[in-house]
Amino acid sequence: MPVESLFPRLEPLLPRVQKPIQYVGGELNSTIKDWDAVDVHWALMYPDAYEVGLPNQGLQILYEVLNERPDVLAERTYAVWPDLEALMRERGIGQFTVDAHRPVAAFDLLGISFSTELGYTNMLAALDLAGLPLEAKDRRVDQPIVVAGGHAAFNPEPIADFIDAAVLGDGEEAVLEISDVVGEWIRAGRPGGRDEVLLRLARTESVYVPRFYDVDYLPDGRIRRVVPNRADVPFRVHKRTTMDLDAWPYPKQPLVPLAETVHERASVEIFRGCTRGCRFCQAGMITRPVRERSITGI
């Protein structure tokens, strides 16, 4: 069933807000697909303003990888500024994607890429604006599965009550595997509800589903241990590591923004990981091992 665009309701509000260009979409290399022609619908969110989120290469990679699949659709959404948020709440307009301006609440999955913990509260604002329950336990079977990823999702416990699942490590292969699992569940008629599809994701051993684990804490607040609360989920969740970067030459067609962004330049990824091992550097510790692209790949 087609999902209608919110743009006819959104457009009259744009002259009343700052930088309205960040909400109109239509960038070079953006993708809009027929809603009914695919099985799985992803809304990909960078939980910050458009000008910060659009240059993020991680989200662009996932956007392109997913849209190359004929059975999958992916659109982008960003945190809206307070001026537009107030107008949207006043008129009952939900969080939307910038590609086709479809309501985020209509998607099957909401993937949120956290570069820093500062995005946590923006995620909550977006969920509330979308009309979705903040806590995962309150969501219905027809509402999006909220999946966290990115560097600030390596310890997902601060947001465990609000997300359905988390992916640790590289996302290219993980999002395709998640799409396969969710697509099979949707085509079968969503048997067993949310618990069933989340159980299937947990059994891949690379998706952490907080509801299936109990967390014990030390007196000072540090985590003592994380253990499964049911026997049919893995004891340990594995980090995803894409070893052959040349096999994943993304983004092949980077998005070209219509508005000024914080990074006014083209980015080329030449390697992941770091040999230095500086203890103060999050990226240098969690993106190991070092993997380099070949000169021809670059």
Over the stretch 11-39, which tens digit does the pLDDT of each residue have? 999 999 999 999 999 999 999 999 999 99
Same domain, 15 and 75: yes
Residue 298: pLDDT over 80: no
Cα separations in angstroms, 172 against 24, 57, 79, 136, 168 = 27, 12, 23, 24, 12
Average pLDDT, the chain: 93
Token look-up 């240059």 returns 55
Same domain, 239 and 160: yes
Give the pLDDT confidence of 185-238 residue by residue, as tens digits. Answer: 999 999 999 999 999 999 999 999 999 999 999 999 899 999 999 999 999 999
Give the pLDDT confidence of 36-68 residue by residue, as tens digits. Answer: 999 999 999 999 999 999 999 899 999 999 999
Same domain, 255 and 272: no
Percent of the chain with pLDDT over 70: 100
Same domain, 274 and 257: no
Provide the token pair at 240. 């995803």
What residue numbers bound the domain in which 23 lies?
7-262
Q: Using alpha carbons only, give the angle 167, 233, 134 rounded to the nearest 5 degrees.
A: 50
For residue 298, is it within any domain?
A: yes
Give the predicted TM-score (pTM) of the model: 0.94
Number of separate domains in the chain: 2
Q: How far apart are CA 298 and CA 281, in angstroms?
A: 25
The whole-number pLDDT of residue 280 equals 86
Q: Which of 91, 89, 64 is nearest to 75 (CA)?
A: 64
Q: Are β-strands 109-113 and 40-46 bridged in parallel, bridged antiparallel, or unpaired?
A: parallel
Residue 260: pLDDT over 90: no
Tell me, rounded to whole angstroms, the distance of Cα 78 from its chain centroid.
11
Query: Are the beta carbons of 297 and 246 closer than 8 angstroms?
Result: yes
Same domain, 210 and 283: no
The whole-number pLDDT of residue 88 equals 97
